[in-house]
Amino acid sequence: MLSIYKKVLGEDFDRLQPMLQKRYDLPDGTTFEATGTMKEIKGGPRWLYPLFRLGVNWKLLFPERGNNIPFSITNTSRLGTNGESQIHWERIFHFGSTKRYFNALMSLDETRLVIKDYLGEPPLVYSDLAFDVSNDGSLTIQSLNQRLVLGKIEVPLPKLLQGLATVTERYDEVDAVYRISVTVRNPLIGHVFSYEGEFVQNA
């Protein structure tokens, strides 16, 4: 069975750099594991600190910032209880002995051909994701419409309250590493959260 990322990208999947194709070709029952370093993790205005502190409870946000932070990622492909293919994202940032998470669960809306992204555990925010392949074979992911998840109820978030993410991922063939950049912005506040760094697949 094709991975949800191959389905959403269609023929464009073949334009991805080969190592990115390997990374995102995740049929049910497969796992991608990698470790690396985030060279910089930045946050927005200080008054947002309580929000990030609260987000720790959902494995979604965290207040720590810094440079050269050890990082690990595990993508696990599985079948959900509803029978749809899902990819669980576990991203762990290691601040000394403290672990912070930025977790999500993705699946495919086959009708609209967008990735459905439930952020947090339990889910707190929902976002549509658009995937695009650049001319150099890198991958760009952008969040679109978002909703606040309150148990079984999902409330559309007005644009002014959304945290819109842009993710760029590429493979550096010279250094043989995956490089990633993530930026979350809000129309009113501007920069809310970002990190960038590199990782290698575990042997």
- CA-CA-CA-CA torsion for 34, 38, 39, 43, nearest 10 degrees? 170
Q: Which of 133, 99, 105, 123 is CA-nearest to residue 20? A: 133
Helix (H, G, I), strand (E, B) or coil at 49: helix
CATH 3.40.50 fits 4-201, yes or no: no
* pLDDT at residue 203, as a whole number: 84
* pLDDT at residue 83, as a whole number: 83
13-25 pLDDT, tens digit per residue, is 999 999 999 999 9
Give the confidence band of 109 by pLDDT, cuts at 50, 70, 90: very high
> What ranges do the domains of the chain cover?
4-201
Helix (H, G, I), strand (E, B) or coil at 5: helix
24-64 pLDDT, tens digit per residue, is 999 889 999 999 999 999 999 999 999 999 999 999 999 99
Q: What single DSSP character describes residue 151?
A: T
* pLDDT at residue 101, as a whole number: 98
The CA distance from 90 to 120, in Å, is: 10
Return the structure tokens found at 88: 């669980």
166-180 pLDDT, tens digit per residue, is 999 999 999 999 999
